[in-house]
């Protein structure tokens, strides 16, 4: 199913939405193949991530769990899906994070999605606007989120 095309939103319209949820991503499967791929790229092969038999026997998780940084890295794709398209934006830059908390392990086979709440909009210049978001990454079927972060994005305008 194709999603409707995003309609660009003005900076002024977004300023009026400070304090509101501005986007929710699609669900993403965090399966063992994705976890193993992340372990390969990061050289983090701790058994709680890559050895399902040992993780089941030796941890309280009942099997393998995703790396916290894998969950955090999913914000890149989830942000593209969820965040508003900024009118006259030439490019967006990931400016960083002010706070990250891993609140619950993500078991292999879980599905995640992100909710973005706009905290602040700051016009740094005529061509640069900084957006601050509260991001909560939900685990499907769980009341407790996997992750909370305060994310900062810089939009460079034409």
Does residue 1 fall inside a structural domain? Answer: no
Mean pLDDT of 128-139: 98
Name 99's bridge partners. Answer: 150
Does residue 51 fall inside a structural domain? Answer: no
Does residue 37 fall inside a structural domain? Answer: no
Confidence (pLDDT) at 5: 81
Does residue 98 fall inside a structural domain? Answer: yes
Q: What is the pLDDT of residues 44-55, one digit of tens each?
A: 999 999 999 999
User: How many CB atoms lie under 10 A from the CB of residue 148?
Assistant: 14
Does residue 133 fall inside a structural domain? Answer: yes
- Mean per-residue pLDDT over the chain, rounded: 96
Does residue 18 fall inside a structural domain? Answer: yes
Record the pTM. 0.94
- Percent of the chain scored above 90 by pLDDT? 96
User: How many CB atoms lie under 10 A from the CB of residue 22?
Assistant: 18
Mean pLDDT of 142-152: 98
First-residue to last-residue Cα distance in the chain: 32
Does residue 40 fall inside a structural domain? Answer: no
CATH of the domain at 82: 3.10.129.10
Domain count, the chain: 1
Can you give the residue range of the structural domain that contains 23? Answer: 11-28+65-157
Asked whether the CA dihedral 58, 56, 143, 29 is positive or negative, the reply is positive
Q: What is the pLDDT of residues 84-111, one digit of tens each?
A: 999 999 999 999 999 999 999 999 999 9
Does residue 48 fall inside a structural domain? Answer: no
């Amino acid at each position: 199913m194709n999603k409707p095309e995003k309609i660009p939103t003005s900076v002024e319209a977004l300023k009026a939405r400070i304090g509101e949820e501005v986007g929710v991503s699609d669900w993403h499967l965090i399966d063992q193949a994705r976890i193993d791929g992340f372990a390969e790229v990061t050289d983090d092969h701790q058994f709680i991530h890559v050895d399902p038999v040992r993780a089941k026997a030796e941890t309280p998780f009942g099997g393998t769990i995703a790396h916290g940084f894998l969950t955090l890295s999913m914000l890149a794709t989830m942000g593209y899906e969820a965040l508003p398209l900024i009118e006259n934006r030439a490019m967006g830059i990931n400016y960083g994070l002010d706070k990250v908390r891993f609140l619950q392990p993500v078991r292999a086979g879980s599905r995640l999605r992100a909710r973005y709440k706009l905290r602040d909009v700051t016009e740094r210049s005529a061509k640069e606007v900084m957006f601050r978001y509260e991001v909560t990454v939900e685990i499907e079927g769980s009341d407790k989120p996997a992750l909370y972060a305060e994310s900062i994005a810089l939009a460079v305008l034409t």
